Amino acid sequence: MKHNFIDRYAALDSPLHILEPRSKLLAFSALIVAVLCIPMDRGILFFVYFFVTAILMGISQVPLAYIVGRTLVILPFIVLASLAAPWKGLPGLWILFIRAIICLVLLILLTNTTRFTELLRGLRKMGCPQILVMNLSFLYRYLFVLTEEAMRMKQARDCRRVGRAPFAEELKTLSSMLGTLLIRSFERAERMHSAMLSRGFAGEFQVHSPRRFTWRDLAFLSGVACFVAVTFVVL
C-alpha cells in the first residue's frame, strides 16, 4: 500500500520548494493571519490576497487539479462552519467561506512545497517544544503503519462475515477492533522505544539539517512582509 496524502508534491524543486522551512512557515503564517484579519467592508483585499495566492500557486508548480481536489475534500467542513454562524447573514457567510478557502489553499501550498520533515525541523528551530515535534514526526511516520494495520483487520473481519450483522453486533466488532488497534499501537511504541534506545537515544532527537537560511529566504520574507503591510496600510 502506498500513501502520501500529506506532502505529495513536496519533492519538486520550484523557487518555493528550495526556500528554508522557517521562512515559509513565517511567511505563510503571516499571510493566513492577514487573511483572517481583513475587515468585512474591504472586499477588495480578498481579491488581492486571492490573486497573490494564485501567483504562489503558479510558482509552486503544484498541479491545480490536486489543490482543487484537496480543497473539495475539506469543503463540506467549511460549509458546515459557515452555516454555524447564521447571524452573519449571506454576505457574512460568503466572506467566511472565502477566508477559509484562501487559508486552506495557503496551507496546502505550505505542506506541498515543504517536506513534512523539514517543516518539523523548521518548527523545532523556531523554538517549538521538542516533545511536540517528536510526536508529530511519529504521527507522520506511523499514520501509514496504523492505517495498514486497520485495513488488514477490516479485511480479516470481512473474510469471516457473511452478510450484514445487526447494528449492535457491528458496533461491538468495531469497538473490539479499535481496542485491538490501540493495544497494538501501544506494543509497537514499546518496541520502537527499544529500537531507539539500542541506537543510543538519550532523550533528545538530534537532527541533521541540509538547508540553510539564504538571501532567497530573506528576500521572500521581506517581500511577504511588505505586501501584508502595504495591503493593510494603503488599500
Partner 1 sequence: MTDYAVRITRLSYSYPDGTKALEGIDLDVAQGERIAIVGPSGAGKSTLLLHLNGVLEAKTGTVRIMGLNLESANLRQIRRHVGLLFQDPNDQLFCPTVFEDIAFGPLNLSVPRDEIPRRVEKALADAGLDYTMRSRTSHHLSLGERRRVSLAAVLAMEPAILGMDEPTSNLDPRNRRHLIDVIRGLNATLIVAAHDLELVLDVCSRTVLMDHGRIWADGETRSMLGDAQLMEAHGLEVPLSLRRV
Q: Does residue number 4 form part of the binding site for partner 1 (CB under 8 A)? A: yes
Interface stretch with partner 1, choices 73-81, 151-159, 188-196, 226-234 (CB under 8 A): 188-196
Q: Residue 140 and residue 209: Cα distance in Å, rounded?
A: 18
Q: Does residue number 116 form part of the binding site for partner 1 (CB under 8 A)? A: yes
Q: Does residue number 199 form part of the binding site for partner 1 (CB under 8 A)? A: yes
Q: Does residue number 202 form part of the binding site for partner 1 (CB under 8 A)? A: yes
- Cell 481536489, located at residue: 69
Alpha helices for the chain (secondary structure H): 21-37, 43-60, 64-83, 89-113, 116-125, 130-159, 167-198, 215-233
- Cell 495591503, located at residue: 231
Please state the length of the chain. 235
CA-CA distances (angstroms) from residue 223 to 23, 216, 220?
11, 10, 5
Q: Does residue number 235 form part of the binding site for partner 1 (CB under 8 A)? A: no
Nearer of residues 164 and 199 to partner 1, judged by Cβ: 199
Interface stretch with partner 1, choices 39-47, 103-111, 138-146, 175-183 (CB under 8 A): 138-146
Q: Does residue number 137 form part of the binding site for partner 1 (CB under 8 A)? A: yes
- At position 4, the amino acid (one-letter code) is N
- 48: cell is 488581492
Task: Name residues contacting partner 1, limited to 51-110 (CB under 8 A).
Answer: none
Site size toward partner 1 (CB under 8 A) is: 30
Interface stretch with partner 1, choices 40-48, 99-107, 115-123, 223-231 (CB under 8 A): 115-123
Q: Does residue number 125 form part of the binding site for partner 1 (CB under 8 A)? A: no
Query: 15: number of CA atoms within 13 Å, CB side?
Result: 10
Q: Does residue number 145 form part of the binding site for partner 1 (CB under 8 A)? A: yes
Q: Does residue number 196 form part of the binding site for partner 1 (CB under 8 A)? A: yes
CB of 191 to partner 1, least distance (A): 4
CB of 201 to partner 1, least distance (A): 6
What is the per-residue DSSP string for 163-204? SPPPHHHHHHHHHHHHHHHHHHHHHHHHHHHHHHHHTT--SS
Q: Does residue number 11 form part of the binding site for partner 1 (CB under 8 A)? A: yes
Q: Does residue number 188 form part of the binding site for partner 1 (CB under 8 A)? A: yes
How far is CA 40 from its chain centroid?
27
Interface stretch with partner 1, choices 40-48, 82-90, 135-143, 154-162 (CB under 8 A): 135-143
Q: Residue 196 and residue 203: Cα distance in Å, rounded?
A: 10
Q: Which residues bind partner 1 (CB under 8 A)?
A: 2-4, 11, 115-117, 120, 137-138, 140-142, 144-145, 188, 191-192, 194-202, 206-208
